[in-house]
Amino acid sequence: MYKTIFALFLTSLAFANITANAQDNDPNMGIVPAPVSVKKATGQFVLSQETVLYADSNTKAVSFFTDYIQNRLNLRTQLKIGDAGSAANSIVLTAKGTEGLPEQGYRLTITPQQIIIAGKGAGLFYGIQTVLQLIPAERAASIKIPCATIEDYPRFGYRGLMLDVCRHFFSVEFVKKMIDVMAYYKLNNFHWHLTDDQGWRIEIKKYPRLTEIGSQRAQTVIGNYHDRTPQQFDNTPYGGYYTQDQIRDVVKYAADRFITIIPEIEMPGHSLAVLAAYPNLGCTGGPYEVGTHWGVYDDIYCAGNDSVYLFLQDVLDEVMALFPSKYIHIGGDESPKVRWEKCPKCQARIKQEGLKDEHALQSYFIQRMEKYLNSKGRQIIGWDEILEGGLAPNATVMSWRGIEGGIAAAKQKHDVIMTPGEYCYLDKYQSRSPNEPLAIGGFLPVSKVYSYEPVPAELSSEEARYIKGAQGNVWTEYINNTDYLEYMVYPRAAALAEVLWSPKEKRNYDDFVNRLKVHTGRLDLKKVNYAKHVFEVTGKITGSDKGVQ
Ligand code: TNX
């Protein structure tokens, strides 16, 4: 017994050592994503009860930092608005000294006397996040932050993560925790997939049945979708949704962390939950029931029925009132055309509008909704199927079925967010071990996420400018609890964050894994259940997951 405890003690000492050393020898000081430029210096700044915080004004970033220091680190540190001059032991948050910095950039100077974080808006916030990453995970009486000069800014403006809360539902509290970790890794767009066949998850006041009926499914298919014929079900009702008050709360929470929430309201496909609530919006009139298995359903909105467009406009009015984002995601993916082919109303619409076929009808549908959203000052994002039948004039394309959609859209001078399944689908297996929990399939280890290059080689440098960034997608068919979700998301999302933030030429997988080791303690403190494959290939830390089978 004592032997075991002693052995554990030794192991933890050894681990602490590895963690500390990793940071000492690391040119990037354990910071993820790696900054553009880091110049290490000797000495340390000591953050203590005596430290004073100075800021030009009390901005969102400043109050975030003050709150962190006072309530998370439990220091008395007071905030003073005004010039710090040469005040001893102070942290200065300022917009001065930001000349020539790209958007979202910051300059950080840490000396034994002072920390100066220079940045504007999001830039200041990211400078703060870097400082937080330099605070040792091991709590001690005084907090020592190593001296350095750092200049930093992102490679891509859009650094996203998508969460599907339809297949399985996740609480407000958990969504906020995810937003916290996103901010820590300088991700700035949270794409909230709020509607799908298996559940409608956002309260819409004008259409109460969307949540009364559409947010509840009778049961859920057991195991992998393809495992059993016939499929078996768990005979357990499942549901959940967010009230508008909850949504407003999350939107503000994210905005305080410089994260934009982009809501997704799916159309014309993945809309069975709506049809179950309002069957008149489908081609056949139903009856329909909220989806109980995964995959693609044939029943979608009727494109020949004007009530559908009016309904969606009403829904989007409430959505726009809740989400101030420039972008509204309208889905557009996986919409089978079999109902439209047989539907007299859809066929009449094709004739009346002089459309070529059902693909052109989908394009008509999306363009009509785009026009509405544009008239309200918003822009649409759609999955790459919106290219089929002709792209809506101002649409941004999310390329998910590989990179071809992204290439085609960029060549048509449309903005693109890359999210190809092969590199960005965080619902795939991370290891080939038979002990992995059930996932959708595929194989996407951390190293592969890290190897992703968002700008396709096929694009000219002119076209490449339309690639605004990329996004990791967390589809939750098989992810039915928060521990498993975190296990799927981290550290793969951290790898993607580095792909999107750090200069391409600075990217180095082994160096990244070394820095991740420093993060294990930090993620433990945040009670994040990250996957450990990169550390545990042979039962000890090896710095690579290449051998994972
Ligand atoms: C495809 S990606 C879908 C989702 C699924 C996902 C599973 C996309 C636009 N549609 O409905 O959940 O695959 O990986």
Answer with the residue of higher pLDDT: 373 or 544: 373
**Which of 162, 265, 475 has most ligand 1 atoms within 8 Å of CB, for mutation?**
475
Give me the mean pLDDT over the 207-229 stretch: 94
CA gap 452, 470 in Å, rounded: 10
Q: What is the pLDDT of residues 506-526, one digit of tens each?
A: 999 999 999 999 999 999 999
**Would the CB of 158 count as within 6 Å of ligand 1?**
no
Beta strands 199-200; 114-119: pairing state = unpaired
What pLDDT is recorded for position 531? Answer: 97
> What is the pTM assigned to this prediction?
0.94
User: Would you say 127 and 118 are in contact if contact means Cβ atoms under 8 Å apart?
Assistant: yes
What pLDDT is recorded for position 23? Answer: 59
Give me the mean pLDDT over the 59-81 stretch: 93
For residue 11, is pLDDT > 80? Answer: no
User: Would you say 262 and 325 are in contact if contact means Cβ atoms under 8 Å apart?
Assistant: yes
Question: Mapping DSSP to helix (H, G, I), strand (E, B) and coil, where does residue 202 land?
Answer: strand
The one-letter amino acid code at 264 reads E
Q: Exposure string (b/e) for 106-130, b if CB count within 10 Å is 16 or more?
A: bbbbbeeebbbbbbbebbbbbbbbb
Structure-block tokens of residue 257: 């962390």
**Would the CB of 334 count as within 6 Å of ligand 1?**
yes
Give me the mean pLDDT over the 112-131 stretch: 98
With a CB cutoff of 8 Å and minimum separation 6, the contacts of 194 are 165, 166, 200, 201, 202, 242, 263, 264, 265
Beta-bridge partner residues of 217: 238
Number of neighbours of residue 401 by Cβ within 10 angstroms: 16
With a CB cutoff of 8 Å and minimum separation 6, the contacts of 220 are 198, 233, 234, 236, 238, 292, 293
Ligand 1 geometric centre to CA of 158 (Å): 21
CA gap 220, 299 in Å, rounded: 18
Give me the mean pLDDT over the 315-328 stretch: 98
CA gap 430, 465 in Å, rounded: 31
Q: Identify the burial level of 527 via C-beta atoms within 10 angstroms of its C-beta, where 0-12 means exposed, 13-18 middle and 19 or more buried.
A: exposed
**Would the CB of 422 count as within 6 Å of ligand 1?**
no
What pLDDT is recorded for position 224? Answer: 86
Q: What is the pLDDT of residues 13-32, one digit of tens each?
A: 444 444 444 456 789 999 99
Ligand 1 geometric centre to CA of 23 (Å): 39
**Which of 333, 388, 398, 440 has most ligand 1 atoms within 8 Å of CB, for mutation?**
333
Give the number of the atom of ligand 1 that is nearest the alpha carbon of residue 398.
9
Protein residue closest via CA to atom 8 of ligand 1? 333
Q: Which residues are catalytic?
A: 196, 270, 334
Of 50-59, 84-93, 253-262, the least confident: 84-93
Q: Show the DSSP H helices in 195-239 as ranges.
A: 209-212
What pLDDT is recorded for position 19? Answer: 44
**Would the CB of 297 count as within 6 Å of ligand 1?**
no
